[in-house]
């Protein structure tokens, strides 16, 4: 009887052919660090403790061990405080400075066979946002080496600052355009036994008035810094800063100015919080309801709500408001505001504005957006 020969040996042979014919990676290890500071971590460098305001720099020297030129296609830093730059050095000593990748997206530089690549990493501590704690920056290099196309350079540092601030910034939140507002933060020495102190106001954004004073605390003196934004600023988000002259831990050596960001949102003298009213999902029995507060932001100011209008498609919406602890004239710092809609009417999308009339000249009409999607 004729037997069909087994196909198993042939199948095994065919399966092995792609492996045998596949090209192997060129010999070499790509870009290799020469004489690293730490052989166990060649792509790591420790700047250690660095006083705030100083700049540190380290250069990694790499050898192209591939049998082909290697092109660096991308060079990126994980933090704006760290800037990398590269230089390719040919065996004959010819140097080619690499371009900054972000300029136009082209290749950075090409390293010849047996050539070297110098990767210089510069860290400016002035741009390190959080001080007095460990920080690890990373520079990522992408190249066309078939052996090692991705490299990561790590830089550790601890930026020392004479003070810590609580909070880190002065957030004035809602500021009335007609009254301005003040806010504070506390500075305390970052190190135990430190004699660091604030000696003056170095600079402040236009419109800010800055003062400071010391107060005794169980663990030492604390400096209270107050920044007040003047009235009359344009409505909307506002950003500024305060820089303070201070000393280092010895109490005498001048330190770089201590920076305190200041932010605010300038608005009308009378506001509704929340700033926009959104109907919550409808309850099958009670319908929908919004609760809010209308208040005068200028200290000592009181307001009276004289009337209201709903501008838009708000059929069935009821508006009610009452003063919280009114004076003899019925004026109050705060008014409780309520918008309700019966369940049977809350069946369509609503969008418009609630207009509230007040007796405050600078905010005769307070306009509050109202939305609902049922």
CATH (domain of 97): 2.60.40.10
CA gap 153, 120 in Å, rounded:
10
CA gap 57, 60 in Å, rounded:
10
pLDDT (average), residues 27-37: 90
pLDDT (average), residues 307-325: 90
**Is 25 inside any structural domain?**
no
- 359 and 281 in one domain? yes
| Phi, psi (degrees; rounded to nearest 5) at 12 | -65, -40
Predicted pLDDT of residue 198: 94
- 366 and 276 in one domain? yes
How many domains does the chain contain in total?
Answer: 3
- 354 and 274 in one domain? yes
Tell me the per-residue pLDDT of 89-134, one tens digit each, with 9 for 90 and over. 999 999 999 987 655 667 899 999 999 999 999 999 888 877 788 9
Query: Final residue of a domain: which of 102, 137, 160?
Result: 160
Residues 6+ apart with CB under 8 A from 52: 125, 126, 128, 131, 159, 160, 161, 162, 255, 256
Predicted pLDDT of residue 52: 81
CA distances from 273 to 77, 331, 338, 349 (A): 41, 18, 12, 22
Q: How many CA atoms lie within 13 A of 371 on its CB side?
A: 6
Domain assignment of residue 155, given as a range: 31-160
- How much is the pTM? 0.67
Start-to-end CA distance of the chain, whole Å, equals 81
pLDDT higher than 60, residue 24: no
- 131 and 191 in one domain? no
Predicted pLDDT of residue 13: 43
pLDDT (average), residues 237-265: 92
């Amino acid at each position: 009887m004729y037997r069909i020969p087994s196909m198993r040996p042939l199948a095994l042979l065919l399966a092995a052919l792609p492996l045998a014919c596949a090209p192997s990676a060129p010999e070499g290890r790509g870009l290799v660090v020469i004489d690293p500071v730490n052989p166990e971590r060649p792509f790591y460098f420790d700047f250690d403790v660095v006083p705030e305001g100083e700049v540190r720099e380290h250069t990694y020297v790499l050898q192209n061990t591939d049998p082909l030129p290697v092109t660096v296609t991308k060079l990126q830093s994980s933090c704006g405080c760290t800037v990398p730059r590269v230089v390719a050095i040919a065996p004959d000593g010819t140097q080619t400075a690499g371009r900054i990748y972000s300029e136009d997206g082209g290749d950075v530089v090409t390293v010849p066979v047996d050539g070297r690549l110098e990767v210089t990493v510069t860290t400016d501590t002035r741009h390190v946002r959080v001080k007095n704690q460990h920080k690890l920056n990373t520079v990522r290099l992408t190249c066309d080496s078939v052996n090692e196309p991705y490299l990561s350079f790590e830089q550790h540092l601890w930026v020392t600052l004479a003070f810590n601030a609580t909070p880190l910034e002065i957030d004035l939140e809602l500021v009335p355009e007609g009254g301005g507002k003040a806010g504070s933060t506390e500075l305390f020495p970052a190190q135990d036994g430190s004699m660091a102190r604030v000696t003056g106001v170095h600079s402040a954004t236009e419109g800010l008035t800055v003062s400071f004073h010391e107060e005794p605390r169980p663990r030492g003196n604390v400096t209270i810094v107050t920044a007040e934004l003047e009235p009359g600023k344009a409505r909307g988000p506002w950003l500024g800063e305060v820089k303070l002259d201070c000393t280092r831990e010895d109490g005498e050596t001048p330190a770089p100015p201590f920076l305190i960001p200041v932010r605010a949102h300038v608005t009308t003298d009378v506001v509704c919080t929340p700033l926009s009213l959104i109907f919550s999902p409808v309850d099958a029995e009670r319908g929908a309801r919004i609760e809010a507060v209308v208040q005068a932001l200028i200290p000592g100011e009181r307001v009276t709500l004289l009337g209201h209008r709903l501008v838009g498609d708000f059929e069935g919406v009821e508006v009610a408001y009452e003063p919280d602890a009114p004076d003899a004239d019925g004026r109050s710092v705060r008014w409780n505001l309520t918008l309700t809609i019966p369940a049977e009417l809350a069946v369509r999308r609503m969008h418009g504005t609630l207009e509230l009339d007040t007796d405050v000249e600078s905010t005769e009409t307070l306009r509050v957006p109202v939305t609902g999607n049922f």
